[in-house]
Chains A and B, each alone.
Chain A
């Protein structure tokens, strides 16, 4: 069973449908026991970081998530919350990956919205995904290139479009909205 962490952080319907199409059982839940006992955990996110962190704290999930031992996939804001802090509201995040999330420069349009290519792919998450494949992104903050970077993209310079530390994976793009290659990445995560 795949647990999708429910903390009122945006639209998870597409993600649930994508998992349905893969024939995978999923449950949208904030129940701590259910999350802890799931085989895989997807940590989605959209909207504002401050609200998201407050909701996680209210549900006690900020203490649970960093201690999970099974594969965890943070998507979009979910990936950013795995980091130490974010310039979005200047708040502390879960600090699973010790890096700080930065604001995209106003020299380019913000949000970075649309399809961009991902390269330098370094994880089984990208099995059978070609270098420079396109993914759909929409974000105003970014994770810089760090030792945990497993894929990068370029928007006013290179940034981390995917990161990994131990059992924690994060992708800035929306695999559930990135056509067949995105669904392949979701499928790869489920087989880790």
Chain B
């Protein structure tokens, strides 16, 4: 039976992990490779690395990092942040990324989705969508949520699917950082309307929230950052709890 995926997200700046990481037994909490291995050993199903480097120059450290991660990691990983062209995608895949995640650049130029899926296959393309409810309508936001648009979340998601995305990573900006649970209404609507996997993101605070997004939200995978990084939720404990509640997970 296909299992629900648990995906820790690591923010990367200038080749280092950012956000306070509160782990014992790590020699270097800022080392993305060491952190990635730790999560892999705990049976995280995939990892996402989100590059938030400010300058193109600093961004080059990302390619080296991807190569180092690929050399040591034996589970799939996705790289996102600042990807603008098929050339960026090609470099990341060549260095060993399994998937890339594109966000704003797909809205600015939707053909990028077609180009990547035709060249490299849908399996390696995650389209990330950040959205927020405005006057009770879900609207797509860009550039890490800083720029609002009038684009409807569900229409955009449908277009993303038809252009060849392999998965959608949906982040509810209303829920992100609240630790009050995922935006399960919107996630369930996406999951029902589309025929590609949906990764839920934004709002994870407790183990119960993961259960809810898999059941009520019908998510195929759930992504979180700080609850894992600060040790509030441990992946083995989360997966055991999900399993006891009859949710298929890889233990």
A binding-site residues for B, Cβ under 8 Å: 10-11, 13-14, 17-18, 20-21, 46-48, 106, 109-117, 134, 136, 138-140, 154-155, 174, 176-180, 182-183
Q: Are A115 and B45 in contact (CB under 8 A)?
A: yes
Q: Are B120 and A46 in contact (CB under 8 A)?
A: yes
Partner of A136, one of B76, B166, B197: B76
Q: In the complex, what's the smallest C-beta–C-beta distance from B44 to chain A, in angstroms?
A: 10
Q: In the complex, what's the smallest C-beta–C-beta distance from B244 to chain A, in angstroms?
A: 18
- Chain B residues with Cβ below 8 Å from A180 are 74
Whether A112 contacts B2 in the complex (CB less than 8 A), given A10-B120, A47-B121, comes out as: yes
**Which of A18, A111, A114, A154 is packed against the most chain B CB atoms within 10 Å?**
A114
B binding-site residues for A, Cβ under 8 Å: 1-5, 40, 43, 45, 67, 70-72, 74-76, 93-98, 118-124, 166-167, 195-197, 220-221, 250
- Chain A residues with Cβ below 8 Å from B70 are 13-14, 17
- Chain A residues with Cβ below 8 Å from B196 are 109-111
Given contacts A109-B220, A177-B76, 13 further A-B contacts (CB under 8 A): A14-B96, A17-B72, A47-B120, A109-B196, A110-B195, A111-B123, A112-B2, A113-B166, A114-B3, A115-B3, A115-B5, A115-B45, A140-B122
Q: Are B220 and A11 in contact (CB under 8 A)?
A: no
Q: Are A11 and B124 in contact (CB under 8 A)?
A: yes
Q: In the complex, what's the smallest C-beta–C-beta distance from A98 to chain B, in angstroms?
A: 26
- Chain A residues with Cβ below 8 Å from B93 are 10-11
Q: How far is the CA of A110 from the CA of B2 in the complex (A)?
A: 12
Q: In the complex, what's the smallest C-beta–C-beta distance from A171 to chain B, in angstroms?
A: 15
Q: Are A11 and B195 in contact (CB under 8 A)?
A: no
Q: Are A114 and B197 in contact (CB under 8 A)?
A: yes
- 3 tightest CB-CB pairs across the interface, nearest first? A47-B121, A13-B96, A138-B123
Q: In the complex, what's the smallest C-beta–C-beta distance from A2 to chain B, in angstroms?
A: 17
Q: How far is the CA of A74 from the CA of B67 in the complex (A)?
A: 24
- Chain B residues with Cβ below 8 Å from A46 are 120-121, 123-124
Q: In the complex, what's the smallest C-beta–C-beta distance from B220 to chain A, in angstroms?
A: 7
Whether A17 contacts B45 in the complex (CB less than 8 A), given A46-B123, A183-B74, comes out as: no
- Chain A residues with Cβ below 8 Å from B97 are 11
Q: Are A109 and B195 in contact (CB under 8 A)?
A: yes
